[in-house]
């Protein structure tokens, strides 16, 4: 079974090397050698990561025979972001609860401070 698009996107992002590659490409296109540079990794390992990103539609590679620069394609990231957005209310709720709890604690501390 071919994984659906969203699963492919999330799966491609589930690796720190691949996320670092995307971060590098956010500042402009780069060759495979340039992308490999910061990592202590074999070229085949680097190529494998790039293939995952390419299959997920997160990068495209230029057609120039020698220097085939990679370029970021952010479109699939929008799908991932839209999916997560539906849950925003939940993490904001939990922050509100935490904030409320901290305020309550601070209030207690103040009252205690006044007594001493």
Footprint of its own copies (CB under 8 A): 3-4, 6-8, 10-11, 13-16, 19, 22-23, 26, 72-75, 77-78, 80-81, 83-88, 90-91, 93-94
Specify burial of residue 93 (Cβ count, 10 A radius: 0-12, 13-18, 19+). exposed
Decide whether 33 or 84 has the Cβ nearer to its own copies. Answer: 84
Q: How many other C-beta atoms lie within 10 A of the C-beta of residue 23?
A: 10
Decide whether 84 or 108 has the Cβ nearer to its own copies. Answer: 84
Separation of first and last alpha carbons in the chain: 68
Q: Work out how close the CB of 17 gets to its own copies at its nearest, in angstroms, rounded to a whole number.
A: 10
Cα separation, 19 vs 105, in Å, equals 38
Decide whether 90 or 112 has the Cβ nearer to its own copies. Answer: 90
Q: Are strands 59-61 and 70-72 parallel, antiparallel or unpaired?
A: antiparallel
Q: Work out how close the CB of 76 gets to its own copies at its nearest, in angstroms, rounded to a whole number.
A: 9
Q: Work out how close the CB of 86 gets to its own copies at its nearest, in angstroms, rounded to a whole number.
A: 7
Q: Work out how close the CB of 26 gets to its own copies at its nearest, in angstroms, rounded to a whole number.
A: 7
- β-strand partners of 30: 70
């Amino acid at each position: 079974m071919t994984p659906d698009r969203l699963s492919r996107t999330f799966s491609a992002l589930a690796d720190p090397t691949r996320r670092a590659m995307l971060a590098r490409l956010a500042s402009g296109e780069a060759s495979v050698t340039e992308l490999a540079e910061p990592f202590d990794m074999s070229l085949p390992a680097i190529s494998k990561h790039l293939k995952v990103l390419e299959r997920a539609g997160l990068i495209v590679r230029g057609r120039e025979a020698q220097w085939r620069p990679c370029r970021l394609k952010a479109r699939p990231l929008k799908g991932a972001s839209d999916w997560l957005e539906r849950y925003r209310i939940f993490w904001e709720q939990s922050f509100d609860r935490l904030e409320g709890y901290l305020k309550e604690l601070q209030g207690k501390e103040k009252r205690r401070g006044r007594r001493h």
